[in-house]
Amino acid sequence: PDSAKEKPQRGKVVAVGPGKLLDSGVRATLSIAVGDEVIFGKYGGSEIEVDGVDYKILRESDVLAKLA
């Protein structure tokens, strides 16, 4: 399909949450940190605007790669 031809997007992580709460009650360790550059699918996550700046809210599972 045409959607498979869409190029992934690139962005910089500006905030992270506490991590997923596991069934054991422990929070999962995040592999993404503030300042990381990441690649994600164009249609992943949700777009928001705060103080005139556009942001994208993603789950860690939406991240395709972390750039070194």
pLDDT score for 7:
87
Q: Label residue 3 by pLDDT band (50, 70, 90).
A: low
Residues spanned by the domain of 19: 2-67
- Whether pLDDT at 1 is above 90: no
User: What is the distance between the alpha carbons of residues 37 and 34, in angstroms, rounded to a whole number?
Assistant: 9
pLDDT score for 5:
74
Q: Kindly report, residue by residue over 19-67, the tens digit of the pLDDT.
A: 999 999 999 999 999 999 999 998 889 999 999 999 999 999 999 999 9
Count Cβ atoms below 10 Å from residue 38 Cβ, excluding itself: 19
CATH number at residue 30: 2.30.33.40
pLDDT score for 68:
78
Per the structure, how many domains does the chain have?
Answer: 1
